[in-house]
Structures are given as C-alpha cells and as structure tokens.
A and B are shown apart, each in its own frame.
Chain A
Amino acid sequence: MNMKFSLVLKRILKYTKPHRMYIALALIFAVGSVILGLFVPVLTGNAIDHIVEKGNVDFEAVMIIIIKMIIIILMSALFQWLLSYCTNCLAFKTVRDIRADAHQKLNNAPLSAIDPMSRGDVVGRMINDAEQISTGLLQGFTQLFTGVVTIVSTIVFMLFTNVWLALVVILLTPLSFFTASTISKKIHSRFIKQAQIQGELTGFAEEMIGNQKTVKAFCYEESAQRRFDEINQRLNKAGVMAQFSAAISNPTTRFVNACVYAAVGIVGSFLALGGGLSIGHLSMFLSYAHQYTKPFNEISGVITELQSAFAGAERVFEIIDTEQLEDESAKPELSDVDGDMEIENVSFSYNPKISLIENFNLSVKSGQRVAIVGPTGCGKTTFINLLMRFYETCGGNISVDSQNIKSVTRDSLRRNFGMVLQETWVFTGSVRENLAFAKPDATDEEIVAAAKMAHAHSFIRKLPEGYDTLISEDGEEISQGQKQLLCIARLMLLMPPMLILDEATSSIDTRTEQRIQRAFAKIMKGKTSFVVAHRLSTVRNADIILVMNKGKIIEQGNHEELMNKGGFYANLYESQFER
C-alpha cells in the first residue's frame, strides 16, 4: 500500500476513536459468531456419526446434539446481529463526525478560500464522497473482522489436524495477498479519476439545473445537454475502467483459491498414499481449505469498497484541510462602540499581481454618514469586505474607536455592524425564521415591528401562511424586491451601532424605498454608517461622500463641496438628468 493510502486510513481511524467501544464490541461479536458458526459443521458431523444405518440410530444422543446445535445457532445469530449493528453505528457515527468536522472547517475558512470553490463540488463531497466512506467502513469492519477471525480460527483447526498440509495452505496464502494488493493499487488511481469526473458532472448539473430558468430563457437546453453528455461520456469511460478493475479482484482471488484447493488435493492425496493421512481427514481438510480461502475472497471484495471509500475520504479531507481562520479566542471583544473609524494607508489585492486598493485613507467621526459612489468595479464592495474582515487588508490599519479591527474578534466586530447587501439571501424556511436569523430569541412582537419598519409587514401578511410561509432562494413565493425588504427587516431587528448598506434598496421601488430611507434615517441617527448607492438622492445628504475609481478615492467631501469642485462627482450627478 502506498503512503497516501495509509495516511488516509490513519485519518479515518482517527475519526473512529470516539467510537472505539463499537470497534471492541464488534471484534468480540465477530469472534463469537464465527467460532460458534464453525462448531455447527462439527456438531453436524457428530450427529451423523450417531445415525449409522437401519435400526442403528441413537436418537437420545442425536436429540442432545440437536439441542446444543439450536442453542449455538441462536447465539451465533444474535452475535451476528450485534456485530452488524455495532459496525453500522460505528460507520454512520464516524461519517457523521467527519461531515460535521468538514462543515465546521468550511464555516471557519476565510472567504478567500471559499469564494473560488465550486458549490456543487463541495456539496458533492459532503454528500456522495462521505457516503462512500460509510459504505466502505461498514463493509470493511463487518467483512474484514469476520474474515480475519475465520482465517485465524481455521488455521488453528487445520494445524491440529495435520501440520504439513496446513503449512501448504498457509504458505500459499501470500499469493492471495500479493494479487489482492497489486490489483488494489491499480484500482485506487482509477477510482480517483472516476470520483473527479463525477465531481465535475455534479458541479455542472448543479450549475445548469440550479439556474435552469436562465438556461430556458436562452434556449440553451441543447448546448447544456451537449456539454452534459460530453462529461457523461467521460464518466462512462472512466467508470467502466474503474468498475472493471474493481471487479477483476474477485474472480482473481477465486482463481488463487482454486489453486490452493487443488494443491491441497494433490499434496493431501500423496500424503494419503504414504499413509500419513486418512481419507476422512483429507475431505475435512478440503472443506476447511474452502472455509479458509473464502474470507480472502470477501476481503478482496472489501478492498474495492475501501478503495472508493478512500478516494471519497481524500476528497472530503481536502475540505477539512481548507485554510482556517486564525484562532481569536484570546482576543478581546469589541463592545460599547461609539463609531469613530480611522482608515490609514490601507492596501489590498485579491491577486498579488494586480493591486486593487492602494493607499486608502479615511477618518470618520462617530455618527457620520459616509456615502461611497463610483463606477461599478471601482472597489466599493472590496472596501466593505475589508471593513467586515471578510478579507484581511494587505497593508495599513483599520481601527474602530482607536482599536485595530484585527486586534478584536471578528464576530464582535461584525456584531457591531449591520449589513444589507445588494444580493439578497434567504434560506429555505419560514419568513419568521428568516427574519429572526440573527436573533433567534426575538419575540413575535419584535419581529413584526422590524417587518413594519422595513415595510415588509403588509406583503408578509398577504402570503398564504403569513409569517409561517415557507420561502426559498429560488422559489417564486416572493419577489426579488420583497426578498430585499426581508433582508432589511433582518437588520431592523438587530439595531447595531454601525451600518453598511451596499445597494440595499436596489430592487425596491422608489416609493417604498423612500419610506425605508426614512426608517433608515431614524435608526441611523447617531450611528456611523456606510452607504453604497447609485441613486444620488440617497447620497446627497451624507456627511462625507467618497468618490472611488479604480481602487482609489478620487474625491472626498460633502455634496456642496463636490458640486462646486465640478469634478467626477458633479459629472455623475448631472448625468442623471441628461436626456
């Protein structure tokens, strides 16, 4: 087995540790059920010895043996069931832990690691690949355990019967092992390839089916089908190869077993000719040889399962190995914020080669309203990413109440900001759950009050189930603008000391927006706020207007100052009245 293989195995085993109990129990039950199972043929043989011929049957002895048999049968079955139950618990609980860990790691990964991930691929890993692990563990533990126990106990039985013949069998087994491991190495790489293409297919299906409405609008169905078929064909090819190479191992080990059986037959016959072995013993040996090689057969089957389990595990572990955010448990919390902000010499780039924000300086007093305007792609959203510490600055400092935001915990920083983004996000759940998302203990009154403030109450009331209506991101239950109202209501429920509104009302009609603006104005009083907007009517009343272009602040001041200056902002402002 190669290095990677054993590394993956080690990691999986690490996850089974909390469930060691099940492993121990499974082992005991495996031993119990196999050994008891081996006794059944022995008892059968004994019973048959008492049934000799017509008129010569010892019914009393037979009865006793049969009673023994029944007890052993029942106990062995009970052990078998417990073994299976324990391995199931082990497999599912281990995979549950692996999934939980992967999810937790995702949760704690920086956005710079999450943004480039394909969602379909991540979901595929969390679901399909993790399922593979549980299947592998299940088969691995049940069949591997019973297999090993069967092998060991048969060896003991054989050694007791005839040492020489037993040695023939034992010496030939490495042959089985050798073939199994050679094949398994081959299979592993094939499975990885299959898993990769499967991931690609899932990603593509996710993208196309998830955005099926756009696909329809463009009559792109045929092209999508063509591209899907192309991946599907590749999956077919890789799958046939992977499946076939996995399927080779079973007949191959069966062939090796046949050779062992034949060897026992030939050597045993010669021993019998020399008088060293009775024919009865030879036939018993043959059945044990069969008994002995059968588990090898099973084990080789298990190995293929394990192969795909390991391939799956590798992909899940890649998620678990995602870069993690630095631990902040030692940092102080940011609390009782006044809202003074100082931004000094900040620089940032997503790609080290292309710098985006350079030399950014800004000073905001508590309670001031900062508006950010500029052409799309000028760095407004990036600036907000930095404020919220979604991304970390590459140089310079941002401080709140003269505390560097990197010196406090991310969560406490974010809790002091309320943010509404242009891109709405609702999750599958009721309207109420969506609103109370950031404040699970909110009372119904609070929720309704927040909804009223965001002017969402009236439409929510009209929904079929009111606040209990189920909504989802791509459902048609509510419109895009209404989703935005919900996002605003979410914020109204929290009332944090600082606000970030990134095009928060872009999908809302002007009249409703106007009312929401008034609501915002009310809650913004005395709070530091950052507003990104295109409607300059929203921007006009800001204390500071930042005009950004290509990552730099090109103008800064209030509306009058900037209009008098007659620069970029003034042009922008005039353009909305152009014919």
Chain B
Amino acid sequence: MFKLYRNLKYYKLQVIIGPVCKLIEAVFELIVPLVMADIIDNGIKAGDTGYILSKGLLMIGLGAAGLCFALVCQYCGSVASMGVGTRIRHDLFEKISSFSHAELDRIGAPSLITRITNDINNVQWSVAMFIRLVIRAPFLVIGSIVMSMMIDLKLSLIFLIIAPLVSFALYMIMSRSVPFYKAIQRKLERISLVTREGLTGVRVIRAFCGQKDFAGDFEKANNEHAQTAVRSAKITSLLNPMTTVILNLGIAAVIWFGGLRVDAGSLSQGQIIAFANYMTQISLALVVVANLIVTFTKASTSAARINEVMDMHSSIEDGNIAASSTASDGRTAKISFENVSFAYPGSKEYAIEDLNVEIMPGETIGIIGATGSGKSTLINLIPRFYDTNKGRVLVDGTDVRDYELKTLRKKIGIVPQKAVLFSGTIADNLRWRKNDADINEIKKACDIAQASEFVEAMPNGFDSRVLQGGRNFSGGQRQRLAIARALVGRPEILILDDSMSALDYATDSKLRHALRTETEGMTTVIISQRTASIRHCEKIIVLDDARVMAIGRHDELLKDCEVYKEIYEVETR
C-alpha cells in the first residue's frame, strides 16, 4: 500500500494543503460552541442584543470560512486521488506491457483487467479519504483525550482503558474481514470470467443449446458472490455497534466514578458533563476512523493485488544490442537453432526437443507436422516470446537474448494463428508495425496479402471501422488483413503461423505467388497443414512429437520421409 502511496509525492501541495484546510475547518467547528457559550454567559445575562447579534453573525462567518477551507480540501483530495489513480493505472499498464508470455499465462488477462480497473479504483478512493479525513479524525480523538486529562487526570484513566479496547475490537473485526474481501474479489473475477466467456463463445453455446448450463455457471458464481458478501457483512456490521457499546459503557463508567469523585469533592457537576461530551466526541471520531480503516483494508487488499503484478518481473530480460549493426552479410544464418529444448512452465514434457536448424537470409522455410508437434512453439522462440530451456536461438548470428527486444521484434513480421484485429480503422490496424507508414506502403502490403480487393470495395476503404476483435470481418478477411499488417514496413523475417487456413485455394495460391515474387530478400517461415502451401520452400522441416523428423526439399522429402509422403498423397488423391 505504502508503495503505491509513494505516488503521492507528485501531489505534495495537495497532500499538505488538503489536510491543513480540513484541520482549520475542524478548529472552526470546535470554536462555534465556545462562541455560543459566550452568547449565553455574556449576551443573555447582560441583555446585550447587539452582542448577541454580532456573535451570531460571527458564527455564520466561521461557518462560511469553514466552507471555503473545506472546499479547498475537497478539491485537493479529488486532484490528488485521481492523479494517483491515473499514475498507478499508467504504471500498471506499462508493467503489463513489459511482461513476457510466461507471466501473461500465469496471471491471465481477465485478472489483469480487474486489477487495472476495480483494484485501482479502490486505492484511488482510499487516497481521497486519506486526504479528507486522516488528520481530522485523530485530531478530534487526541484533542478530546488531552482536554479530559487536563480536567481530571485520574478520571481520564477511563479513556486510557477504553481507547485500547476500541482498538482491539477494531483489530479483531478487521483481521477477520480481510480474508472475506479477498474472497469477494475472487468471486467477482469469476463472474467476470463467466460473462466474458459466455460472450466469446456465444455461437458455440447456442449451437449446443448450452445457454442453460452457462446460465447455471453464472448463477452459481453470482450466488456465491452474494453469499460471501453477506457473510462478510455479518462481521463488518459489528464494527459500529461494538464501538458505540464500548464508548457508551465508558460514559456509564464516567458517571459512576465521576459520581464518586464528586462525592469526594474533587470534581464538579459541570466537569462531568464536559467529560461525557468528550467521550461522545471521541466516539464520533472513532466511528470515522473505523470506516476509514474499512476503506483502507479494502484498498490494501487491492493494493496487494496491484503490487503482486508490479513486483513481477518479466522472465525475459532485455538485452542491449539495439543498433541494426548486426545486418546480415549473406553468409551468416538469418535464424539458427542450436540444440534447442523448451518446455512450457509447469509442463513436464518438452514441447521442442534438441532442435538444430539453420535458415539462411532470403530463404523460405516450411514447417509441417501433426497437431501439437511443436510448430507454433518453435516460432514463438524466434521473437523470444519464451526463452529456451537448453541451447540457444540466434538471429543474424546474435543470441536473441542479447538483443534489445524491440530491435529483435522490429526485424520480424508475425502473423499469429488467431488473426486478431483491433477496434479502430483498417488503416490503424495496418499501421501496427510501423505507425508512420504512408498509404502507399499499406496498399502495397494489402496487394501482396490479397486484401486490397475487399478493402477497396468497402464504402470507406481503408478508413472503414473495425469492431473489437475484427468481428465485422470474415475469417479469411481477418487473416489477409493480419498478413498485410505483418508486411507493412517490410520486416526482415516474416513468420506465418498457419495463417492461411481460412483462405480458399485460389486466394491462397495467389497470395503465395505474391509472397514469392514481392518479398525479395525477406526470410520467411511458413507453418502449414498442407504440403501445397510449402512445397516451393527451400527447406521443409517435418516435426513430430517435439522433434525434427526430417529436413529437406519437397522432392527429397517425398523420397525419404514416409510421413511427408503420406500427407502429400492424402492431399492429391
């Protein structure tokens, strides 16, 4: 929590002025009863109407001044809390951007999203409360205790017993409710997960008439959330009654022991009234403190969830080779895998085992193999989405771990298996690799990707809207746009992860032809399920169960590799 509160240093002015103004307002509030006492003692007893009026106006004046100070404080609170929230949001987003795939897999996107929205809002609110109340309430508590000690030191011992009792009660309730807050947060996440999955899978769910089951899941999550919240309320609701009970018992004690002191002649009647008043004042202030604590407890669980992310470090450390001084000389392999083995975190089996491959500049490489044989994993290692467990991956003769990630990834244009587009215009989407690409570059990329035709047929052409995830485009259109996106800015290495699966043969073959003729000098890695898509490659890697089964040209493999031959025959039969 304090870690996050460090962001307050940018709002020193507000953090100082806010509470000070609040304090002044509180002092004014404390003065008002004294003025009233003056009116009673001097005004009424002397029958001085002018005095009464002027003092009355003074009270209103004090109120007005208090209002001004309070407004300043509230404004400071708003600026500082929103400011801190904005900063944390910025930092957290930046942190998430720095994560490698391994960390993303670990926490999961839905949880990250709750943290960047809900959790930050909780912390933000706590900052506002902090500035508005954190000085005022303790000021009233301590002020009252000091005043009572000045009246009668012995009787004030009651305060010294009551205060720890109240603190203990507060502590007990708090420590019991914290686990509940965490549980509630988890249940909320569950609700959001089910909602989100229900939306993404809406077609499948309906096709299988699974709405009821899914609704059941939602209902369960929803009910559990309500139940946990109510159970937690049983405990947190104790807070106010417990403190009032303790404090009112304190007042009873003041009356009894005060009575004894009066009987002994060491205290006056009026002083008991004062004592009781101070006790009430403390009780009001402590209730505020208790509520402050609730806010802070909630905020601190949220803060812990934010810090958990903030404290995670990308398992992939940035290298320092930034310049493009490593430009290839034509003889060094563009990409090479040396004895590479890799297993996903938590998995017992290697997804890639003992891989040795060299890919020369300008070559086109095909990768083929059964589902789950490690094709996608292999290419995930080139842009260093994951680090190898054994061996190393080199690009332009340099270990990928030595590169600055940006430099490395800028060399590569990748078309993922799931073609995701983002909300915005088509042109926005195509400028992802190179944000200052001019329209000609974009058009050229679309020509190669066979996307120009349908884009230009749209009423707004490249300025047509893309909905979130590209839902307003067909699968094949999305794939072609994703390919065009990877081509903009001419990457040195182009990786196509089975990214033509939704294209029909005619488009597919036109696209392959264009790739062959228009991307001179580009090193291309193509994953495909069809031999037809990779038969022209200079090298074809046949993967089987995490290992390389054969490497060679199409005609070589047809002779030497049974599996490849079988695939080919099935296709052409």
Write out the residue numbers on chain B whose beta carbons fall within 8 Å of the beta carbon of A276.
Answer: none
Chain A 87-104 interface residues, beta-carbon cutoff 8 Å to B? 88-89, 92-93, 95-96, 99-100, 103-104
- The 10 A-B pairs of least Cβ separation, nearest first, read A376-B476, A258-B63, A481-B371, A88-B233, A251-B70, A54-B265, A84-B237, A438-B208, A247-B74, A77-B241
- Is A51's CB under 8 angstroms from B199's CB? no
B9 at the interface (CB under 8 A from A): no
Contacts A44-B251, A269-B44, A507-B417: A92 and B372 contacting too (C-beta < 8 A)? no
- Is B372's CB under 8 angstroms from A478's CB? yes
Other A-B contacts than A96-B223, A459-B372, 16 sampled, CB-CB below 8 A, are A59-B263, A73-B245, A92-B226, A100-B222, A209-B112, A223-B435, A269-B39, A273-B49, A377-B454, A422-B475, A475-B108, A476-B105, A477-B344, A479-B371, A511-B370, A513-B529
Contacts A73-B248, A258-B32: A78 and B241 contacting too (C-beta < 8 A)? yes
Cα(A443)–Cα(B79), bound, Å:
60
Q: 0/1 per residue, B147-182, Cβ < 8 Å to A?
A: 000000000000000000000000000000000000
Question: What's the least CB distance linking B415 to chain A, in Å?
Answer: 9
Cα(A259)–Cα(B66), bound, Å:
12
Looking at A150-158, A533-541, A551-559, the stretch in contact with chain B turns out to be A533-541
Q: 0/1 per residue, B77-104, Cβ < 8 Å to A?
A: 1110111011001100110111111001
Q: How many residues of A contact B (CB 8 A)?
A: 178
- Is A127's CB under 8 angstroms from B64's CB? no
Query: Which residue of the partner chain, among B252, B255, B406, contacts A51 with CB atoms under 8 Å?
Result: B255
Question: What's the least CB distance linking B185 to chain A, in Å?
Answer: 11
A23 at the interface (CB under 8 A from B): no
- Is B259's CB under 8 angstroms from A59's CB? yes
Number of A-B residue pairs with CB-CB distance less than 8 Å in the complex they form: 488
- Is B502's CB under 8 angstroms from A376's CB? yes
A564 at the interface (CB under 8 A from B): no
A525 at the interface (CB under 8 A from B): no
B399 at the interface (CB under 8 A from A): no
B521 at the interface (CB under 8 A from A): no
B109 at the interface (CB under 8 A from A): yes
Chain A 203-220 interface residues, beta-carbon cutoff 8 Å to B? 203, 205-220
Query: Which residue of the partner chain, among B78, B422, B532, B571, contacts A247 with CB atoms under 8 Å?
Result: B78
A474 at the interface (CB under 8 A from B): yes
Question: What's the least CB distance linking B527 to chain A, in Å?
Answer: 10
Q: 0/1 per residue, B430-469, Cβ < 8 Å to A?
A: 0011010000000000000000001000000000000111
B547 at the interface (CB under 8 A from A): no
Cα(A376)–Cα(B478), bound, Å:
10
Cα(A160)–Cα(B198), bound, Å:
62
B323 at the interface (CB under 8 A from A): no
Contacts A103-B218, A119-B468: A213 and B567 contacting too (C-beta < 8 A)? no
- Is B191's CB under 8 angstroms from A118's CB? no
Question: What's the least CB distance linking A131 to chain B, in Å?
Answer: 7
Chain B 51-89 interface residues, beta-carbon cutoff 8 Å to A? 52-53, 56-57, 59-60, 62-64, 66-67, 70-71, 74-75, 77-79, 81-83, 85-86, 89
- Is B86's CB under 8 angstroms from A233's CB? yes
- Is B99's CB under 8 angstroms from A509's CB? no
- Is B571's CB under 8 angstroms from A535's CB? yes
B195 at the interface (CB under 8 A from A): yes
Question: What's the least CB distance linking A496 to chain B, in Å?
Answer: 9
Chain B 180-225 interface residues, beta-carbon cutoff 8 Å to A? 188, 191-193, 195-204, 206-211, 213-215, 218-219, 222-223, 225
Q: 0/1 per residue, A471-501, Cβ < 8 Å to B?
A: 0111111111110110100100010000000
A53 at the interface (CB under 8 A from B): yes
Query: Which residue of the partner chain, among A127, A381, A509, contacts B371 with CB atoms under 8 Å?
Result: A509
A286 at the interface (CB under 8 A from B): yes
A69 at the interface (CB under 8 A from B): yes
Write out the residue numbers on chain B whose beta carbons fall within 8 Å of the beta carbon of A198.
Answer: 117
| Cross-chain pairs A/B with CB under 8 angstroms, 15 sampled | A40-B248, A48-B276, A51-B255, A62-B256, A66-B255, A95-B226, A127-B118, A203-B423, A211-B420, A232-B90, A244-B78, A258-B66, A270-B52, A273-B52, A279-B40
Cα(A411)–Cα(B414), bound, Å:
41
A4 at the interface (CB under 8 A from B): no
